[in-house]
Each structure stands twice: as structure tokens, then as C-alpha cells.
A and B are shown apart, each in its own frame.
Chain A
Amino acid sequence: MISRHLVLGAVLGPVLGAALLAAPALADDNTVTVGMILPMTGPSASTGKQERAAAELYIQRHGDTVSGKKIALVVKDDTGAADVTKRLAEELIGNDHASVLMGFGLTPLALAAAPVATEAKVPQIVTAAATAMITEKSPYIVRTSFTLPQAAAPMADWAMKNGIKKVVTIVTDYGPGVDAEKWFGDTFEKAGGTIVEKIRVPLKNPDFAPFLQRVKDDAPDAVFVFVPSGFGAIFMKEFAERGLDKSGIKLIGTGDVTDDDLLADIGDSALGAVTAHHYSAAHNSPENKAFVEAFEKANNGMRPNFMAVAAYDGMALVYQALEKTKGDASGDALLAAMKGMSWMSPRGPISIDPETREIVQNIYVRKVEKKDGALYNVEFETIPNVKDPYKAAKH
């Protein structure tokens, strides 16, 4: 037996070796490689799909050459496993000579790559993961998505001003959820409101039904919700099944729960939900109209969500930084160029805080309404230039 199998191994060995050697073609001096690490499979696959499409769209709309450099986008699937993210980050820098890392679907995945970015002095643009403390883990991390405190605190202000006194919070039990719970709760209580109950739902196999029953029994004025990107449909379905949509309890939250990508599947039970977020596909600006139209055209009608706009702006940041450095793609030069950069995104005016490398952006209060026969988050109030309150509180 042993020999027979080992001979098999001896035959397979050279084949595997050749496969290992089939490394990516060496980049020349005139190519700037952007290494994008995303969960393309597994439970967070929707994030990867949206972000990849948006990054490719940016290149398609703006050409693949900046300051005489050709931009090459390399997308890798980390399956949502942190050890794979770390290896891919190492290989993208070591083998593909990536000048920028981008993506990172979940907080632990962003943190896994942080030491690699620091050691290799390569900018790491976080276009998804939204726990506030991520940017503090490496001086090379820049974020173009958002932070949960950024969206949750304005929601509390709005609720207070609109006659909501008693709230139950329900969040997914991990970094961003805890951030949302804390920043909504603290802001709301400081303004004189009452948090009746704080409910945390496990990240894996989320079944919201028993928790929603507790919300119903508490009979608050409103329920504040945070769920990870892609989980909003399950929540809204169970929300309607329990009859909460007709119970007079208002649904408020950060924009993840009424994700643009999922609204069509959620259906009319989402009508009237009020959320605070940084992006809606219905945002009324010429930049956004062009972006949404081009995105839907390139992706069989798929509507861009807040993940897509973050990746689109991630690419915009790379392009503009390269223009500013006149094609110098070394890590420190790019990083310096990115700090303080401001531009008009499809979501509105945004900038990168030079101190914290965190995005500064408008937060919009939106309500789910029917527009041209489809559901949209229609913005009706703007809180301009919101900095991440978590870091603002420290400074």
C-alpha cells in the first residue's frame, strides 16, 4: 500500500510543483497593481460581488492608465477566513508586487492584514469592514466605507427629535454590532431617551424570531436594528411574520438592514423603515445617477449598495493619489497623498481625515418608499461632514 500511494505522490509532486510555479506574470515598472481581497464565497459573498463589480466599473469608466501607469486589478477570494486573508495579503505584496491592498469584508479579516500592511509599508484601503477601531491597528489603513458610530449616533439624534422616547436595540453580536449598540444607546440616553432592552443576536445562524417576540412584549416606541450586510432580508421577513410591521413599533436602524441590494427581496414590509446611512442608490445627484445607471448596465440590473460605492471610492482614492504623486506608487508617497484627499463621490462630498485616515462624509436619514414601482431608501435629511465620533471622542 505504502509504495503504491507514494508512487502516486511522486507522480503528482512535479505536477503540483508546476502549478505552484505558475505564479502571476511579473509586473513591470509601469504597472500599479491593486490587490483586492474579498469574501467572494461563503456567507459574505454578496459583499465581494458588489465590491468587485464596482472596482471594475471604476476602471472601465476612467480608463486603466493614470499618470502614465497602467492599473492592474487582482481580485482574490479569502472565503471569509482570516488566515487566508493574511496569506493572500503577503502573496499579493510579495509575488504580485501590489502597491495597494483593498477590500476586507469583515473586521477580523481587515485586522489580519494590518500587520502585513505595516511591515511592507503598503496602503491598506478598507472598503467594507466597519468597526470603528480598525484604522488604529495600522498607520497604513485608510477607510472609504463608514464606521458604525458614524451612522448610529445621528440616528439617535433624529429619533429623539421625532418623538421617540423608548427604544429596544437589537444588534448582531460582534464588533460593528457592539459599536452600533453603544453609540446609538449612549447618544440616545444622553439626550434623555430610554433604552428598554439591549438584545444581541449571534452572528452565526441568525434566527431573529425569539428576539423579535421580546421586542413585541416590551412594546417600545421604536426598535433600533443593526445586522451585517446581506442579513437584512432575513430580519425583515421575520419582523413582518411576527406582525411587528403592523404593531405601531417603528423600525429604525443603520442602513444595513434596508440594504439596496436586498430591498426588492424584502418587499413591502420594509415600507416606512427609517435608517441613517451614508449611501442610498436613490441619492439625488448627477454623479450618483450616472454611477447607478452604469453599474446596473454592467451587472444585469444588480443595484449598487453601500459596499459597491465604498469600493468605487477606494479605486477613486488610488487614482487620485497616483495623480498627486505623479505616478510614484511607493507606499509612503501614496499614503501621504491619500491623507486629506477630498472629492465628490456618488454618495455626496467625502474626504479622508488626515489625522485618523478615516472617511468624513454626509450621513443621510432615509425612509423606505416606493419610487417608480420599486423600493428605495429615500433621503429626507442630511447631517453634513460627519467624522467618526469614536475617534473624535478620543481627540
Chain B
Amino acid sequence: MRAAQPTATTRRLEAHLHRRARWRWPEIVFWVAALGAIVVLPSRAALINEILIAGLFALSLDLILGLTGIVSLGQAAFFGLGAYSAAILASKGFADPTLGLLFGAAIAAVLGLATAPLLLRGGDLTRLMVTLGVSLMLGELANRNGWLTGGADGLNFSMGKVLGLFPIGFTGQRNAALYSFAALFILFAVARRLAQSPFGLALAAIRENRLRAGALGIATSRRIVAIYTVSAAYAGAAGALLAETTQIVSLDLFDFHRSADVMLMLIIGGAGYLYGGIIGAAVFIVLRDVISAATPEYWEFWIGALLVVLVLIGRERIHDFAVRAASSLAPDAARGDAA
């Protein structure tokens, strides 16, 4: 009996992990709905595109904040760097969007790898300051080197067709949204796989207790550097997508409010399960669009008030309500692994 027990545990664990790795029906509904929105609402394609890009940006923050427990106020550094890298590449004549996307992600990953060691020491407050500092420095570098970046006037450029087939300018807004959707879906699938791999479990261990994770034999520093680099690449990819689909970059990409907004989106949607950033981005941007159409001067007040309500009292209750409503419809699915 004693010899059989670990095997049973392992088997149960394996089964559990497999179950977790399966795509569930709400997830499939989610992606089909997102794709459907682009097809059904071509007139709002530009807004949906912005949501998808913000969702990818928030996903990049979820990788470090939600999965690993590393706070950052400087995701805009990678976002802006990815955008400027893609923009500069395009302005030099290499206007293929896919190439620019990979290039933006790669350059941002290099910066992530270079600055990750700064995050290994100190607590959350140190990390907030370090990440914020890096994004401020990059913003000023972009401002100073106007010969390359266009400085405070921004940089305009024209973009080629996606895969040489689909134009993504003013007449190709739906193509742009589909392009962003494809990039988001692929990168999301990779992140999802990553989160469920042993690497992802190690990250969860680091998030819960870094000291104990180290004592278990997990090389915590290397894991943190690795996920920070991946997160930087994701943020860079989001920036590159924005640059390519709007065909302009300007210094506001490095602004503090970009880092703050993306954190808000993640908090609205909930951190740690990867969908939160995308849902939060959709809620935030649609709210902003609807409220600022009604009151272009004072929308910040209303969105601020809504956020306070949503985060303080609303979200948990909305959850409970949604779960109860869903479990009365489909008891099996809603139970999930909530226990």
C-alpha cells in the first residue's frame, strides 16, 4: 500500500494537469466571440484593434504580475521600444508587418533580458521604481535622438501588406484587426502553454513564496529573468502591432499613463489567469469610448468612479452572480476547478 501511494498521487497530479491544459468551452466561446466581433462590427474595427493590442499588452503584464508576482510600472518601456523598433524598421524600407512584429518583440526582449537582473534584488517598491525609471530613460532617449525617432514630432511611415496580401491602412481597418487578433491568439496560446508547463508551475511557486521555492531547488533568479524577458517580448509585440496598424509613433508611447492604464486593465479583468488582461482591456476601452463620447471633457471622472466601484465592491459580486447564473444553466462547466 505504501509503495502504491506516490504513484497514485503522481497519476492524479498528471491527470489534473492534463485537465487544466484542455481548452474549455467558455474559452472557445471567448475566442469565437472576439473573432465574430471583428466580422460583425466592421465599423468598430479600429476600436476592436485597439482592444486587442491593449489586451496583448496587459497579457504581457499578467505574465510577470499575475503568474510570477513581480510588480512593474514600466511596461511602457517595452511597449514603446517595440513600437519604435517596428516603426524605424519600416521607415528604412523594411515594411513587412510580420517582420516588424518579430523585430519589435526581439528588440524589446533584449532590453528585458538586459534589465531583468535589476529586478532580482530588493522588494516590490524597488521594482516599481526600477521599471518606472527604465521607461522614463527610454522616453527621453527617444526624445533626444530626433534624427532616428522624429523626436517630439513623432514618426510617420507607411506599412506594407500583411503576408504581402492584406493592406492595413485606412481602407484595411478590418484586416488590421484580424492581423492583431491572429498575433494575440498565437501569443496567448503560447503563454497558456507556458503557464501550464513545469516552468509555469515554478513561477507559481515563486509567486507564492520565493524563499521556499528556492529551498525546493528552483533556480528562482533564472526563472524570473526568463519570464521577464518573455513579458518584454510580448509588450514589444503589442507596441509593434500598434505602430504598424496606426502607422505613427510618438513619445506618448513611453508615457507613465500607458503603464498605469495597462495595470488598471489587468486589475479590472483579474490577474493570474491570462484572460484578465484581455477582458479588462475590452471593459476599459469600451467604457472610455462610450463615456468620452458623451462627455469628452469629464470622462476621466466617471471612469475613475466606475473603477472604484468595480474594484471595491463590484467585481467579486459580479463573479458570484455570473457563476451562479452559469451553474444553473450548465452545472458541470461552471464548477470547473474553482474548488
Contacts and interface: CB of A to CB of B under 8 A. Distances in A.
A76 B296 contact: yes
B282 interface: yes
Contacts of A40: 292, 296-297
B336 A3 contact: yes
A87 B47 contact: yes
Given A1-B273, A91-B46, A111 B33 contact: no
B29 interface: yes
Interface in B119-157: 139-140, 143, 151-154, 156
Interface string A288-314: 000000000000000000000000000
B242 interface: yes
Contacts, number: 194
Interface stretch (B178-186, B207-215, B218-226, B315-323): B315-323
Category for how many chain A residues contact B: 35 or more
B261 to A, nearest CB: 10
A115 B156 contact: yes
B338 A108 contact: no
Contacts of A333: none
Given A1-B337, A5-B275, A114-B156, A41 B297 contact: yes
Nearest to B279: A9
B30 A10 contact: yes
B17 interface: no
Interface in B23-51: 24, 26-27, 29-30, 33, 37, 41, 43-44, 46-50
A3 B169 contact: no
Contact of A2 (B44, B247, B273): B273
A12 interface: yes
Contacts of A20: 37, 41, 44, 47-48, 286
B275 A9 contact: yes
Nearest to A49: B297
B194 interface: no
B72 interface: no
B300 interface: yes
Interface string B321-338: 011011000000111111
B89 interface: no
Given A8-B279, A48-B297, A108 B322 contact: no
B154 A112 contact: yes
A9 B169 CA distance: 30
Interface string A1-30: 111111111111100110111111000000
A-side binding surface: helix, strand, loop or mixed?
helix
B170 interface: yes
A81 B288 CA distance: 14
Contact of A12 (B50, B158, B171, B283): B283
A7 B286 contact: no
A77 B299 contact: yes
Contacts of B276: 5
Category for how many chain B residues contact A: 35 or more
B-side binding surface: helix, strand, loop or mixed?
helix
A111 B293 CA distance: 23
Given A3-B336, A20-B41, A23-B44, A108 B250 contact: yes
Contacts of A95: 43-44
Nearest to B27: A6
B246 A112 contact: yes
B270 interface: yes
Contacts of A377: none
B163 interface: no
Given A76-B292, A174-B152, A6 B297 contact: no
A387 to B, nearest CB: 22
Contacts of B322: 4, 7-8, 10-11
A94 interface: yes
A200 to B, nearest CB: 11
Nearest to A83: B246
Contacts of B110: none
B290 interface: yes
Contacts of B46: 87, 90-91, 94
A110 to B, nearest CB: 10
Contacts of B279: 5, 8-9, 12
A11 B338 contact: no
Nearest to A8: B322
Nearest to B136: A204
A76 B153 contact: no
Given A111-B154, A137-B156, A1 B246 contact: no
A38 B275 CA distance: 33
A3 B41 contact: no
16 contacts: A4-B319, A4-B322, A6-B26, A6-B27, A7-B322, A7-B325, A11-B322, A16-B282, A16-B286, A77-B292, A81-B250, A81-B252, A86-B246, A91-B44, A94-B173, A114-B156
Given A8-B318, A91-B47, A111-B153, 6 more contacts: A7-B325, A22-B290, A41-B300, A80-B252, A116-B170, A119-B171
Q: Give the top 8 A-B pairs by smallest Cβ distance, nearest first.
A: A3-B336, A174-B152, A108-B154, A6-B26, A77-B296, A108-B250, A82-B250, A7-B326
